Amino acid sequence: MADARKMGLLPSVTSVLGIMDKPQLTSWKISCAIESALTLPKMDGESLDEYARRVVEDSKQQTKKAADHGTKMHEQAENILLGRSCSKDPELQPYIKTFKEWAEDNVEKTYWCERALVGAGYAGRCDGYVRLKGIGDAIIDLKNRKVSARGSPFYDQDAAQLWAYRTASENPKAACVSIVLASNDPETLVIHRWDEDELHEAGIAFQAMLKVWAWSKKYNPPGMKL
């Protein structure tokens, strides 16, 4: 924070949203830890503390693997939207096929991908700004997460993230669309267009979180006031 104060740096959108509790993510991390504890054999002579540390480290590897997959698919989605060649990685091919088919059917034009945007007191890198069939110009955000019949794959913080990007973009009236490519089923891709009432509420929440972030860090980033 000392450097941020000296250089007048801005918090990222994800940093601001990081102050919000994420029960779905917490539940998934707990599940990973339990799975590691059930499948990782205890070594002879290993103390409980040593075993516990190894279980935690093993569960972190699962989290890292999921994050790495998400990063790779973001790169491939960008390649597809910009008309570039994609990875030949066999593990990614089913996911690439699903996203490419969706993009060919629904994306009429790509204005840009992975652009840094600066808002009032925050900044962030947005996945893309495109024109979608039946929707029009839209700020999009791509997620790789599990999709199941037990609950919606779209979360409130997704709307807040898109509101922040749209507000900082060149088109504050663009639609906001979340795209989820299921990490547990490469053939499943679902989208959600957030309505204006949802985005209005999400914007109020994001601005409140930005103020809480600034208060907790004892740092008012340029462009905002507590």
Q: Where are the domains of the chain?
A: 2-217
Q: Give the chain's end-to-end CA distance (angstroms, integer).
A: 17
Under CATH, which number does the domain 2-217 receive? Answer: 3.90.320
Q: Regarding predicted confidence, which is higher, 123 or 5?
A: 123
| Contacts of 113-117 spanning 24+ positions with Cβ under 8 A | 113/78, 113/81, 113/82, 114/78, 117/165, 117/168, 117/169
Examine the pLDDT at 41 and tell me if it is beyond 90: no
User: What is the distance between the alpha carbons of residues 12 and 17, in angstroms, rounded to a whole number?
Assistant: 9
Q: Decide if pLDDT at 29 tops 80.
A: no
pLDDT higher than 80, residue 65: no
50 or 152, higher pLDDT = 152
pLDDT in tens, 176-213: 999 999 999 999 999 999 999 999 999 999 999 999 99
For residues 104 and 128, what is the distance between their CA atoms, to the nearest angstrom? 16
pLDDT for residue 166: 98
Please tell me the predicted confidence (pLDDT) of residue 2: 61
Average pLDDT, the chain: 91
Look at residue 93 in the predicted model and tell me its pLDDT. Answer: 97
Q: How much is the pLDDT for 197?
A: 98
E strands along the chain, which residues? Answer: 107-118, 123-132, 136-143, 175-181, 189-194
Q: What is the pTM of this model?
A: 0.85
The rounded percent of the chain whose pLDDT value lies above 90 is 67
The pair of three-digit structure tokens given for residue 27, joined into one six-digit string: 């539940």
Q: Which residues lie below 8 Å from residue 135, measured CB to CB, with a gap of 6+?
A: 175, 177, 193
